[in-house]
Copies of this chain bind each other. A is one copy, B any other.
Amino acid sequence: MRQMKLGKAFTLMESGPVVLVTTHDGKKNNIMTISWTMVVDFIPRFAIVTGEWNYSFAALRNKRECVIAIPAADMLDRVVGIGTCSGSDTDKFGKFGFTPVPAKFVQAPLIGECLANIECKVVEIIGRHGIIVLEGVAAYTNPARQEKRTLHAVGDGSFIADGERFERRKMMAAKLPPGV
């Protein structure tokens, strides 16, 4: 995995890919699938939606850290599988054959098979909306991955992979933060 500039890490999330979020509760690793996410700031900061209904939430609230891992399109069935079982009775790294890779600044592990990973600290939990604001403290990409398309959940049980790309850097120049 190759470390990337933190100032570019928001570009891993802005397109709205479904993500895996890892936590470590002090005893064991867990993974959840989250499709309700957004960028909040270029710093980078992100928001995700989760709450008590998710087993990972207790670890996120207590440890105040996590890793956002971005899966590729060829990982779809594992992404859905992770989202439809619970860490309360399942070792998801074991069951889905993912490699936990030690992170630098958080106890939660990176996922070795993912396209990218972002180590995050919890900034604030806005409980009334289930919104958790995270700040990215380190980011990595996985240049070895052949499949580079991310997945976007529709919410009705279907998923969309990245398709055609369009370049509009010139038109957008005034709006891009420095170094991006």
Contacts and interface: CB of A to CB of B under 8 A. Distances in A.
Interface string A147-180: 0010111111111111111111111111110001
B163 A149 contact: yes
Nearest to A15: B152
Contact of A76 (B14, B151, B159, B166): B166
A33 to B, nearest CB: 9
Interface of A: 8, 10-11, 14-17, 35-41, 45, 47, 49, 73, 76-77, 80-81, 83-84, 124, 126, 129-131, 133, 149, 151-176, 180
Contacts of A39: 35-36, 49, 155
Contacts of A76: 166, 168
